[in-house]
């Protein structure tokens, strides 16, 4: 029986772009990554940007990124930008850094420009520094945007998804999706969560006329970073954290989280908060309770680590847990290196269900595509086995939080309106 599914956490436009980018997920070392870049560079024009994604240094025996000079050589001097699979870290070549006006003196709030022993940029950029670099990359034009969005939607349809939630929707995305629906090129439902600063413009676009299958469903914010970059905000220090932020990075202050919640509340909409670390999860739950946003269907995205004291608060405050179990498969090495003393807090799915969350209602599964692939089977594998296929049972991470297959599929069930 073919299942009809909901992808509860996707990035549609970036998925479209990623389908034509160099995929580095199969590389097992910095050397293999550089070889792949060199091979792709041979196919490009002299000044054409080389865009890559999917690198997983934490899965390498030596989890060190290639340096800027190595990228320059492999890329033939052209601008090279290569994302970590989590899209919170990247490496960039010299010409790309120059284009983005990033040098040794550059300081970026909530961002890191790593310097080498000579005091020059190594090429590694974290969080908002990576975003600054990416925002300087030439953007596709309107016609290209439409084709990229169409390619992404067809990709998701091919995987069985009839409903998609976009968790960083651009203000123009709803209009493009509506045009594709009206033209009969796709048939899906979409819930869009633009960044809070883009919420007003997105609502105005909706008022101008969206297809009934597209709606602005809330706002989005980023409370912390990611596990692989050691920027997910933790209650206790990492085993191997960065000296400048041993417990990760709080990307928002208490006041900023409050303001984001209230901005959404003003429009009668919930806030969806990126919160991977247990400190970030707690900060969001505290803000929801503090600002009287209970039962507004606010969402916490990812929640890869949750402190035991906060498990019941999801139900008590009416908060949706939007999880991506498939990330466990990609993060196994990083988890063991970073939080070996807290593996029993990783993706506590069974405990969330026992606390009262209902699969497919307030416990949702998605992938975060293109961070990882959107194939629902990956999350099913992670949710019921807690390890990659082919691994022994002893290698499972937090196996006590495993759930049965029927319940796991229920977390992908589309909303009742679909």
pLDDT in tens, 119-138: 999 999 998 899 899 999 99
Among residues 175, 273, 295, the alpha carbon closest in space to that of 224 is found at: 273
Neighbours of 372 (CB within 10 A): 21
Q: Is the dihedral of CA 235, 236, 241, 245 positive or negative?
A: positive
In tens, the pLDDT along 181-232 reads 999 999 999 999 999 999 999 999 999 999 999 999 999 999 999 998 899 9
List the chain domain ranges. Answer: 5-14+147-410, 21-135
Domain 5-14+147-410 sits in CATH at: 3.20.20.140
Look at residue 338 and tell me whether its pLDDT is greater than 50: yes
Separation between Cα atoms, residue 227 and residue 291, nearest integer Å: 28
C-alpha 86 chain-centroid distance: 6
How wide is the angle at C-alpha 188 spanned by C-alphas 183 and 192, nearest 5°?
A: 105
Pair 287, 254: CB distance under 8 Å: yes
Fold held by 21-135:
Diaminopimelate Epimerase; Chain A, domain 1 (3.10.310)
Which pLDDT score is estimated for 399?
Answer: 98
Q: CB under 8 Å to 45, separation ≥6 — which residues?
A: none
Pair 49, 325: CB distance under 8 Å: no
Pair 355, 314: CB distance under 8 Å: yes
Identify the three-state secondary structure at position 121: strand
How wide is the angle at C-alpha 258 spanned by C-alphas 173 and 231, nearest 5°?
A: 75
Q: CB under 8 Å to 347, separation ≥6 — which residues?
A: 303, 304, 323, 325, 328, 382, 398, 401
Pair 239, 340: CB distance under 8 Å: yes
Task: Report the chain's C-alpha Rg in angstroms.
Answer: 21
Look at residue 173 and tell me whether its pLDDT is greater than 50: yes
Q: Which whole number is the average pLDDT over 335-346?
A: 97
Look at residue 155 and tell me whether its pLDDT is greater than 50: yes
Which pLDDT score is estimated for 46?
Answer: 83
Owner of token pair 């009742």: 416
Which pLDDT score is estimated for 418?
Answer: 38
* Whether the domain at 5-14+147-410 and the domain at 21-135 fall into the same CATH topology: no
pTM for the model stands at: 0.88
């Amino acid at each position: 029986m073919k299942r009809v599914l909901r992808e509860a956490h996707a990035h549609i436009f970036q998925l479209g772009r990623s389908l034509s980018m160099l995929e580095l997920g199969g590389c097992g070392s910095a050397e293999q990554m550089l070889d792949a870049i060199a091979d792709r560079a041979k196919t490009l024009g002299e000044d054409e940007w080389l865009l890559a994604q999917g690198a997983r240094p934490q899965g390498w025996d030596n989890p060190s990124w290639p340096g800027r000079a190595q990228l320059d050589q492999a890329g033939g001097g052209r601008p090279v930008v290569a994302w970590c699979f989590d899209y919170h870290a990247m490496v960039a070549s010299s010409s790309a850094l120059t284009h983005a006006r990033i040098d040794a003196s550059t300081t970026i709030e909530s961002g890191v420009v790593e310097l080498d022993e000579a005091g020059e940029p190594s090429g590694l950029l974290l969080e908002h520094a990576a975003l600054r670099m990416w925002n300087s990359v030439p953007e596709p034009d309107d016609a290209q945007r439409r084709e990229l969005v169409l390619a992404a939607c067809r990709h998701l349809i091919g995987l069985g998804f009839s409903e998609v939630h976009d968790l960083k929707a651009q203000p123009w995305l709803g209009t493009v999706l509506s045009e594709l629906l009206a033209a009969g090129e796709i048939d899906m439902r979409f819930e869009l969560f633009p960044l809070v600063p883009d919420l007003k413009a997105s609502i105005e676009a909706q008022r101008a006329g969206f297809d009934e299958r597209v709606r602005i469903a809330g706002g989005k914010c980023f409370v912390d970073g990611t596990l692989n970059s050691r920027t997910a905000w933790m209650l206790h220090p990492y085993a191997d954290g960065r000296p400048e932020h041993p417990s990760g990075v709080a990307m928002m202050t208490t006041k900023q989280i409050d303001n984001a919640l209230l901005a959404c509340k003003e429009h009668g909409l919930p806030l969806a908060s990126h919160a991977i670390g247990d400190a970030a999860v707690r900060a969001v739950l505290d803000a929801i309770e503090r600002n009287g946003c209970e039962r507004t269907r606010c969402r916490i995205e990812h929640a890869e680590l949750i402190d035991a004291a906060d498990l019941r608060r999801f139900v008590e405050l009416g908060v949706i847990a939007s999880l991506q179990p498939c990330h466990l498969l990609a993060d196994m090495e990083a988890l063991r290196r970073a939080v070996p003393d807290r593996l029993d807090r990783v993706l506590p799915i069974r405990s969330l269900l026992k606390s009262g969350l209902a699969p497919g209602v307030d416990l949702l599964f998605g992938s975060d595509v293109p961070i990882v692939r959107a194939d629902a089977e990956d999350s099913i594998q992670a949710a019921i086995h807690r390890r990659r296929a082919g691994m022994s049972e002893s290698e499972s991470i937090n196996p006590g939080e495993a759930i049965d297959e029927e319940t796991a599929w229920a977390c992908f069930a589309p909303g009742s309106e679909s």
